[in-house]
């Protein structure tokens, strides 16, 4: 039986996240339906992460087992033809080894969170960013972001509901930068070996509170040390968050 990894991108605005659930249509459901139609088999897919309702993906990876004869390089076209304009597009597909798991074989992910920092809205970015109409001290946000890097217990940056064994994670990079697309847009990029539930959204909420002056750069170390969710900032809304990259060792999966 083949094991096939698929890279997709999706606009999460119309979806209740990745994982199948009773309350609304999810990306997982959409993909399983399309792949079942294409292959004539009952397909179950394994996604690289649960993304929340409304969160977007510039790159998302899942894998599925199948006996289909469709060559991997043809699969994205076949998927896209079935999907139509559904806010999801397949970008690539590869045959992978039997034990590859999009979720458990990943050794890191990178997210970008977009903030619209202006008193005036923008109709092109409104669905893809958090509208923050307050003046932000971006330099302080940049310094605070640096202080989050490294191996720490990030329980203060985790929403209730996670099922992880440990809350220690290694943030490889955390940067705040001005967008090249729009002058009014800021981006928080975070790369880690793995993430806790809502971690990037809580990090962003905390950095914005440093930007407004509600918290100081010095608070960051204390927030990490105290391991108390109440010490960190608010959870930024889902529409600004994009999964940007999912990492695998090249011997497991290289696009």
* Residues contributing to the site for a second copy (CB under 8 A): 9-11, 56, 58, 76-77, 80, 85-91, 119-124, 126, 128, 180-181
* Annotated catalytic residue 11: no
> How many helices and strands in the chain, by DSSP H and E?
5, 10
77 or 104, CB closer to a second copy?
77
Among residues 243, 242, 238, the alpha carbon closest in space to that of 54 is found at: 238
Phi and psi based region of residue 34 (left: phi greater than 0; alpha: psi -120 to 50; beta: remaining): alpha
Q: How far is the CB of 56 from a second copy (least distance, A)?
A: 8
CA atoms within 13 A on the CB side of 201: 23
79 or 190, CB closer to a second copy?
79
Go through 36-49 and write b for each residue having 16 or more CB atoms within 10 A of its CB, e for each that does not: bebbeeebebbbbb
CA–CA separation, 96 vs 79, rounded Å?
Answer: 18
Q: How far is the CB of 89 from a second copy (least distance, A)?
A: 5
CA–CA separation, 236 vs 226, rounded Å?
Answer: 21
Among residues 65, 79, 106, 75, the alpha carbon closest in space to that of 10 is found at: 79
Task: Identify the burial level of 201 via C-beta atoms within 10 angstroms of its C-beta, where 0-12 means exposed, 13-18 middle and 19 or more buried.
Answer: buried
Q: How far is the CB of 210 from a second copy (least distance, A)?
A: 26
Query: Which residues, at least 6 apart from 41, have a Cβ–Cβ distance to it below 8 Å?
Result: 66, 67, 68
1 or 120, CB closer to a second copy?
120
> Of these residues, 11, 52, 137, 153, which one is catalytic?
52
79 or 102, CB closer to a second copy?
79
CA–CA separation, 191 vs 111, rounded Å?
Answer: 6
Tokens standing for residue 239: 């529409």
62 or 128, CB closer to a second copy?
128
Q: How far is the CB of 222 from a second copy (least distance, A)?
A: 37
Query: Which residues, at least 6 apart from 65, have a Cβ–Cβ distance to it below 8 Å?
Result: 1, 2, 3, 4, 44
Q: How far is the CB of 185 from a second copy (least distance, A)?
A: 12
53 or 167, CB closer to a second copy?
53
Q: How far is the CB of 119 from a second copy (least distance, A)?
A: 7
Active site residues: 52
């Amino acid at each position: 039986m083949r094991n096939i990894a698929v890279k997709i991108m999706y606009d999460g605005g119309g979806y209740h996240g990745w994982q199948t659930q009773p309350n609304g249509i999810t990306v997982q459901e959409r993909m399983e339906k399309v792949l079942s139609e294409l292959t004539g088999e009952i397909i179950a897919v394994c996604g690289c992460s649960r993304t929340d309702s409304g969160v977007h993906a510039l790159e998302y990876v899942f894998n599925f087992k199948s006996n289909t004869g469709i060559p991997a390089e043809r699969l994205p076209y076949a998927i896209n033809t079935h999907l139509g304009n559904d806010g999801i597009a397949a970008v690539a597909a590869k045959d992978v080894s039997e034990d590859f798991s999009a979720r458990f074989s990943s050794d890191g992910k990178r997210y970008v969170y977009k903030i619209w920092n202006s008193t005036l809205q923008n109709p092109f970015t409104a669905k893809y960013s958090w509208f923050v109409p307050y003046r932000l001290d971006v330099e302080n946000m940049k310094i605070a972001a640096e202080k989050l890097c490294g191996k720490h217990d990030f329980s203060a940056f985790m929403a209730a509901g996670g099922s992880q064994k440990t809350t220690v994670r290694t943030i490889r990079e955390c940067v705040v930068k001005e967008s090249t697309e729009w002058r009014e847009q800021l981006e928080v990029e975070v790369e880690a070996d793995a993430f806790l539930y809502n971690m990037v959204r809580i990090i962003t909420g905390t950095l914005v509170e440093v930007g407004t002056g509600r918290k100081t750069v010095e608070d960051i170390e204390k927030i990490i040390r105290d391991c108390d969710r109440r010490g960190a900032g608010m959870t930024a809304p889902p529409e600004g968050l994009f999964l940007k990259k999912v990492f695998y060792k090249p011997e497991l999966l290289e696009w």
